[in-house]
Chain A
Amino acid sequence: MPTRPLSPHLSVYRMSRYTLATSIANRFTGVALSAGLPLLVYWLMAVAGGAQRYARATHVLASPLARLIYAALVVSFCYHLVAGLRHLVWDTGHGLERAQSRKSAWLVIAASIALMLLIACRIWLRGMHGP
């Protein structure tokens, strides 16, 4: 390993800054969604495996632990979607000023929470079972 300093230089930042919080949250939720990808594929395979196979998989897919994972995935999805849109706007060269970035950080948090509540309401209204 080279002795020169290597990115990320985590120790040089003030950890309480909104910039760091929104950035690390985007990475964290992205990794969470990656971890959820096998679950999506498992579900698709269960559907394709027929009614009996799906019924057996439902024991796993409708368990309390699985529901907790869905909740985490919904939260991750909402945040990663909105924060990703913020990144795409940045890529066009807009919104990079400090004041704009602070404003968009709060906008991302507010919009993703609104999206989470919207999805939660829909699931609660239907009394959904499993994914």
Chain B
Amino acid sequence: MSLRSPLGTVLGQGAAKDGVRHWWHQRLTSLALVPLTVWFVVSLLALPALSHATLIAWMSQSSTALLLILLVLVAAWHSQLGVRVVVDDYVHGAGARTLTLVLVGFAHVLLAAAGVFAVLRVACGGSP
């Protein structure tokens, strides 16, 4: 005999009340981050120097700007999903956990927005 209610079975959302969406997004973002992070590290290592002029020239290219924006967004989303699991595991008590998750979420959105803004500022020539 199952102790799950018929409604719970139909919704299929489990103890986290979120279904498989979290798991699936973590897989999707990890798959996307393989080429994005490898591109980022290889590109940085391939640059002749990390002077401001070199970086501006590099980030002004459309392809670089696009990939950097994707990197920041996907990395922030993947990071948020990962940190969330750690918080779920180690922060006990509904109040403390919810507060931590809210702060983690806000911090990641702020980082993603700031990163995208910085890349766009350089790519659109708005950087002084």
The answer for the CA separation of A52 and B52 in the assembled complex, in Å, is 9
User: What DSSP secondary structure best describes chain B's contact surface?
Assistant: helix
A63 contacts the other chain (CB 8 A): no
Contact (Cβ within 8 A) B34 A48 = no
In the assembled complex, which residues on chain B have CB atoms less than 8 Å from the CB atom of A77? 37, 41
| Per-residue interface assignment for chain A, residues 15 to 43, with 1 indicating a CB less than 8 Å from any chain B CB and 0 otherwise | 00000000000010011011001101100
B123 to chain A, nearest CB (A): 9
In the assembled complex, which residues on chain A have CB atoms less than 8 Å from the CB atom of B119? 44, 48
On whether A55 and B52 interact (CB within 8 A), knowing A41-B118, A49-B127, the answer reads yes
Of the candidates A47, A55, A85, which one forms a contact with B118 in the assembled complex, judged by CB atoms under 8 Å apart? A47
Interface size class of B (residues with CB under 8 A): 35 or more
Of the candidates B56, B111, B126, which one forms a contact with A47 in the assembled complex, judged by CB atoms under 8 Å apart? B56
Of the candidates B27, B83, B93, B122, which one forms a contact with A88 in the assembled complex, judged by CB atoms under 8 Å apart? B27
The answer for the CA separation of A38 and B53 in the assembled complex, in Å, is 23
A28 to chain B, nearest CB (A): 10
Which residue of A is nearest B111, CB measured? A41
User: What DSSP secondary structure best describes chain A's contact surface?
Assistant: helix
B interface with A by C-beta (< 8 Å): 27, 30-31, 33-34, 37-38, 41, 44-45, 49-50, 52-53, 55-56, 59, 68, 72, 75-76, 79, 82-83, 86, 89, 92-93, 108, 111, 114-115, 117-119, 121-122, 126-128
A12 contacts the other chain (CB 8 A): no
The answer for the CA separation of A50 and B59 in the assembled complex, in Å, is 13
Contact (Cβ within 8 A) A119 B93 = no
A98 contacts the other chain (CB 8 A): no
The answer for the CA separation of A15 and B19 in the assembled complex, in Å, is 30
The answer for the CA separation of A33 and B118 in the assembled complex, in Å, is 20
In the assembled complex, which residues on chain B have CB atoms less than 8 Å from the CB atom of A129? 49-50
In the assembled complex, which residues on chain B have CB atoms less than 8 Å from the CB atom of A45? 114-115, 117-118
Of the candidates A47, A51, A52, which one forms a contact with B122 in the assembled complex, judged by CB atoms under 8 Å apart? A47
Contact (Cβ within 8 A) A84 B30 = yes
